Amino acid sequence: MSLVNDLSLKGLSTNSKRALIKELKEAVRLEMAFQRDLKVAAKVLKAQNAQLRKEVAIAKARAKLEKLLAPVGSKAIKANRKPSKAVVVSGTAQV
């Protein structure tokens, strides 16, 4: 509204006032279209970022899964076995 307050409409003819209103309406329409386009662009960027984050998370999960499914060495297999039962040797206790 500052543009309207700055304008002096008293000295203008009716046709000039109509032309000015037409120009102002056009300026408002263009500004609204520009703001709408900005919102659409922001939505598209947000969706692209979300898709990228999903792809990164999937890649991390796949790498972790492949690491878990990778074959392990013979020493790791031996170390991962259950221990056998302890052998108790009976004998005389010394007191």
In a domain, 82, yes or no: no
In a domain, 93, yes or no: no
Is 45 part of any domain? Answer: yes
In total, how many domains does the chain have? 1
Please give the Cα distance from 60 to 37 (Å, whole number): 35
Ramachandran region, residue 72 (left: φ > 0; alpha: ψ -120 to 50; beta: rest) = beta
Residue 85 lies in a domain: no
| pLDDT score, position 11 | 80
Tens of pLDDT along 52-93? 999 999 999 999 998 888 777 777 777 777 777 777 777 665
CA–CA separation, 79 and 25 (whole Å): 80
